[in-house]
Structure 1
Amino acid sequence: MRYLLFLLPLLLIRPAAAQNRLDSVLTAEHAAGHFNGTMLAVKNGRVVARGNKGSANFQFAVPVTDSTRFPIASMSKTFTALLVLQLQERGQLKLTDKAAAYLPELPASCRQISLLDLLTHYSGLKNEPIQAYDKRLPLAEFVRAYVVRDESKPTPGFNYNNVDYVVLTRVLEVVSGRPYPVLLQEAILTPLGMKNTGVLTDDRIIPNLAYGYHNYSFGGGGQPEPLQNDTRDLANYAGAGAIYSTVADLGRLVEGLRTNRLLRPQTTAQLLLKPQQPTYLDYARGRPTIGFYHNDRTFARPVLERRGSIDGFNSALLLSPDFSTALILLCNTDTGDLEKIGDALYRLLK
């Protein structure tokens, strides 16, 4: 019933004031060549603004629509974190467990890395090289090839990387006995009715999937700036960055969190909302929770943030800690500064 209640606002008339305020910002950014994608704003389970700007495919002038699916890059990590928390609730693992307890093939230098270390990027693992995405690799092979501890740092600090969450993806598969896409579907997508979300694959064509384009300008360029086609094999990112979705589906995820359909309230309060490491990270604009970054500096009130960026695909999710207010941005170019755009839009959600 709660899911049905969320569907209705997607079809009903949205409050004109919020729609006009946010659309004016989005239109100006698109006209300046700084936004190409889609936006959704939600308050208390109701859509208050949405907007689509630009092309899902520039070669054939295919416009971005409500049904356009975007790779969400590192926003995928929130889904992976939620799956880990669900398995902990079921007693199948603990955040204090060592990853090597499930993956004995990990190098000896990685035997003391806990699941919490991986979730918050305090594992001490090195970033993967760019050639890790040159060709398709099975998940187990990716782990064997690119899990390497940074021996130059005896005491690991924060190091944002994808390897941490690729390892977690493999742990989830071992513990659950299911491939990651199947586990994701059963545990999150089907319960919330997220029919336009899944894991990227080269085994089949994914309808309505946006093409990616980059020039790495991030708000510093304009309309004439040339764009290049993305060529990276995104499927290798697994639970670190291989999920695609729509803003409407991500709105359903937010509603699922708000109504405790995915996690118990105690788990949400203690792990999803509460910082698990003490240091405020300027890079991520917050302290890491399990799934988000808790930002108590940018706005008058704390905000949970999750962002993603792979070549031209960029995403941003800003949430109030009670999940009553949400702003979702998905782009298929990197021509805009989503931090700047997202902040401006979120402040207009009164």
Structure 2
Amino acid sequence: MSHPRSALCAILFAAFCFNTHAAPATAPTPAGIIATATAVARIDDYLTQNFAAGQPGITVIVVKNGLPVLHKAYGLANLEQKTPLEPAMSLRVGSVTKQFTAAAIMQLAEQGKLKVSDSITAYLPDYPTHGQTISIEHLLTHTSGIPNYTALPGFGEIVQKTMSVNEMISFFKDKPLQFTPGERFSYSNSGYFLLGAIIEKVSGQKYADYMRQHIFAPLQLNSTFYDSDECRAQPCVAGYSKRLLGGFDSPQVISMTLPYAAGALRSSVDDLARWNAAIVDGKLLKPETWRRMRTAYTLNSGKTADYGYGWFVGKFKDQPMYRHGGDIPGFSAGTQYLPESGIYVAVITNRDGGQPDMGTVIKKITTLLLD
């Protein structure tokens, strides 16, 4: 005899379901099913209105208590070839990459190969810390004071250049710190770039190889990979930039050696949902490690920042919320999880610019599900 939740899953989605601790012990009531279906219909209308069939689109997955209630794509993967976008396709996710980089660091910590309290000079001995102690935890939480290399003068001049890890670090390492480490939060891609270099130093593997072998393969994230300048996904989802006066152009070309461990992954909304389910179930890392990663960092002053290790930490309609966005030329992504409601939303679009932005889309989807 099948479990009622399994039967419901088969009815709602033949594609897949997720087994998570957030899943209810019994199947939802008919009233709950109707309410969810009504909300999903409104979400579908909202996305249809905002992502036209002949334009760059969006891939979406919405999971509620382990059940995917919306799994769909809107618009085109390639305007020139008129290729429809599909929800299983891999797109660039930008800074959502940081969740995976943080997990790799914590995996090495669980193995006793590093401590987050370690100074970064234990692994990057030539990095100038300007008389301060900068820990791995400072990098994870954007509290190091190291300036964000993507905001530095001259970044636009190298954006298309293939850079080695050491060459890229040299671009920003001699800049003065913006503040004493741990004093405040200031989002910095530089910190996560350095975390990638630390992963390589500690593991003896290239960042891309380590992530594939130790993160993606164990969780069967088969559509997630370190991107290169040549897209390996088939068909390749093209990115676009919105023109001010209408229409779309090809985005600014960027060498993927620059975002690196801070933003160079491609993934699908399917894989992002599997990723969140693995976290909820305590897979890959110990449950207490995941909890630590999703705990707001305490600054030197005793106040908390709104960031853990790879996640923004906050509230949504008075519920605990974990989220992250990602923007890179031609693409934008967003993820959000509400553990109390069991709601996970992941969206990726193959355009940058234009409205609505992915943060707005996620807020709208989540609000419709909660109302």
Shorter chain as denominator, the TM-score bin is 0.7 to 0.9
- Given residue 166 of structure 2, which amino acid in structure 1 is its aligned partner? A
- Given residue 95 of structure 1, which amino acid in structure 2 is its aligned partner? V
State the partner residue of 1:196: 223
* Contact 2:145–2:178 under 8 Å retained in 1: no
- Given residue 67 of structure 1, which amino acid in structure 2 is its aligned partner? A
| Residue 348 of structure 1: how far off its partner (Å) | 2.2
Q: 1:71 aligns with which of 81, 85, 92?
A: 92
> % of aligned pairs identical?
27
Moved more, 200-209 or 43-52: 200-209
Structure 2, unmatched stretches of 5+, are: 1-5, 18-32, 150-154
CA distance in 2, matches of 1:256, 1:212: 29
Equivalence map 1:156-167=2 (5 Å): 157-167=184-194
State the partner residue of 2:252: 230
| Residue 138 of structure 1: how far off its partner (Å) | 1.6
What's the secondary structure of 1:11's corresponding residue? coil
CA distance in 1, matches of 2:174, 2:74: 41
State the partner residue of 2:365: 345
Closer/same/farther in 2, CA of residues 34 and 59 from structure 1, 3 Å limit: closer
Equivalence map 1:141-220=2 (5 Å): 141-151=167-177, 153=179, 157-202=184-229, 205-215=232-242
| Residue 244 of structure 1: how far off its partner (Å) | 0.2
Moved more, 324-333 or 136-145: 136-145
Closer/same/farther in 2, CA of residues 230 and 68 from structure 1, 3 Å limit: farther
CA distance in 2, matches of 1:145, 1:41: 40
| Residue 171 of structure 1: how far off its partner (Å) | 0.1
1:190-234 deviations in whole A, cap 9, x for unaligned?
1111111100123674423322112387xxx8xx34434331113
CA distance in 2, matches of 1:251, 1:86: 20
- Given residue 102 of structure 1, which amino acid in structure 2 is its aligned partner? Y
CA distance in 2, matches of 1:35, 1:325: 26
CA distance in 2, matches of 1:69, 1:185: 15
State the partner residue of 2:296: 275
1:140-169 deviations in whole A, cap 9, x for unaligned?
221233323434645653221211111000
What's the secondary structure of 1:236's corresponding residue? coil
Closer/same/farther in 2, CA of residues 323 and 263 from structure 1, 3 Å limit: farther
1:51-99 deviations in whole A, cap 9, x for unaligned?
2111111222221112321010000001001111111111111111111
Q: Does 1:242 align with 2:264?
A: yes
What's the secondary structure of 1:317's corresponding residue? strand
State the partner residue of 1:333: 351
Closer/same/farther in 2, CA of residues 249 and 167 from structure 1, 3 Å limit: same
**Pairwise CA RMSD:** 2.8
**TM-score, normalised with respect to structure 2:** 0.81
| Residue 349 of structure 1: how far off its partner (Å) | 2.6
Q: Does 1:11 align with 2:37?
A: no
Closer/same/farther in 2, CA of residues 111 and 167 from structure 1, 3 Å limit: farther
1:288-312 deviations in whole A, cap 9, x for unaligned?
011211112x423121111011122
State the partner residue of 1:50: 71
Q: 1:38 aligns with which of 42, 59, 71?
A: 59
CA distance in 2, matches of 1:306, 1:21: 24
* Contact 1:305–1:318 under 8 Å retained in 2: yes
CA distance in 2, matches of 1:235, 1:209: 19
What's the secondary structure of 1:137's corresponding residue? coil
**TM-score, normalised with respect to structure 1:** 0.86
CA distance in 2, matches of 1:85, 1:10: 35
Q: 1:320 aligns with which of 338, 362, 366?
A: 338
State the partner residue of 1:137: 163
- Given residue 11 of structure 1, which amino acid in structure 2 is its aligned partner? A
Higher-Rg structure is: 2
Closer/same/farther in 2, CA of residues 124 and 311 from structure 1, 3 Å limit: same
CA distance in 2, matches of 1:110, 1:328: 41
- Given residue 317 of structure 1, which amino acid in structure 2 is its aligned partner? T
What's the secondary structure of 1:255's corresponding residue? helix
* Contact 1:272–1:289 under 8 Å retained in 2: yes
CA distance in 1, matches of 2:159, 2:43: 36
- Given residue 169 of structure 2, which amino acid in structure 1 is its aligned partner? V
CA distance in 1, matches of 2:196, 2:66: 30
Structure 1, unmatched stretches of 5+, are: 280-285
| Residue 34 of structure 1: how far off its partner (Å) | 9.6
Q: 2:277 aligns with which of 255, 266, 270?
A: 255
Q: Does 1:291 align with 2:317?
A: no
1:305-325 deviations in whole A, cap 9, x for unaligned?
110111221100010246932
* Contact 2:132–2:180 under 8 Å retained in 1: no
- Given residue 70 of structure 2, which amino acid in structure 1 is its aligned partner? A
| Residue 18 of structure 1: how far off its partner (Å) | 4.5
Q: 1:92 aligns with which of 106, 109, 113?
A: 113
